[in-house]
Structure 1
């Protein structure tokens, strides 16, 4: 099951997604924990039940329970903060930009896994959710903590492919 099940479910017109899905995690330069945490966080953010179920099942072989919790936590906290910070940015009024969030975000300070890995997962989810402010913030934090541009790029690749698989399967389910 896992990625193979998702790949098998994708239609012929999504052949590129199938091929990319088969290679993004297995050939990634990220550690298995980083790659599978990214894939799991992105599967949660992409909201497709098949993609989430299959990636979660395979991720369990690579992540400790704390990693699973943190990957899901990254998707959850970014679901809130990406909307909030993207909206403040898009409004364009400096008074909103300088107003404190007053939203609880404790998991960011204490995610239960390596802080850099958690930042990577937050960055990948922020790409799916389209929050430029959060992308910038997490990329800078990652680079300050020693992550390379290649590692950031790998997380973005995983994000793009997982999301594309989810969108495609959602479309097929809606048309069935």
Structure 2
């Protein structure tokens, strides 16, 4: 598939709402291009579903700088690791794990190559997809410190929800 729109068009009628939601997101102008396309790319990668990644990569290539595209991919990559680890720390009954150093390299968080708030937004969206409340809270705190509005954070969660649902349904076809 060459685009997210074409990808959405392959969804069955029972997933019409997903098709409509993805179409609305593609046409959304409220986030700005870097945030919107970065979120779509990060969430596609975060889904782990190769056909969705390919469609997002094709759509995002002319719309994102190489730095922003790499930051979106990096957010998905580092959150794939962090979300598992920090979800474990959060869910484990033994509080000792929260006191131990993570000993995981995550240098990209400190130097993502784009504005910190955009990278944090990408990371929050992927963390929402992966169900890591500890990471969601951490990224939301940073976003609030950077003055990012609740509506923008909610929009990132909506992108995550849509992209995860689209990947899930398409994988069953």
TM-score normalised over the length of structure 2: 0.97
Please report the RMSD computed on the Cα atoms of aligned residues, expressed in angstroms.
0.9
Please state how far the C-alpha of 1:92 moved relative to its aligned partner: 2.5
| Higher mean displacement: 143-152 or 87-96 | 87-96
| Runs of 4+ more than 6 Å apart | none
Q: Could you say which residue in structure 1 is the equivalent of 2:10?
A: 9
Q: Distance in 1 between matches of 2:7 and 2:70?
A: 22
Q: Distance in 2 between matches of 1:138 and 1:144?
A: 10
Q: How many residues align?
A: 172
| Higher mean displacement: 78-87 or 25-34 | 25-34
Q: Could you say which residue in structure 1 is the equivalent of 2:22?
A: 21
Instruction: For structure 2, list consecutive stretches of 5 or more residues without a partner in the other structure.
Output: none
Q: Could you say which residue in structure 1 is the equivalent of 2:90?
A: 89
Is the aligned partner of 1:114 residue 2:122?
Answer: no
TM-score normalised over the length of structure 1: 0.95
Instruction: For structure 1, list consecutive stretches of 5 or more residues without a partner in the other structure.
Output: none
Is the aligned partner of 1:71 residue 2:105?
Answer: no
Q: Distance in 2 between matches of 1:144 and 1:71?
A: 21
Is 1:3–1:55's contact at 8 Å kept on the other side of the alignment?
A: yes
Per-residue deviation, residues 135-175 of structure 1 (Å, max 9, x unmatched): 00001110111100000011111111011110011111xxx
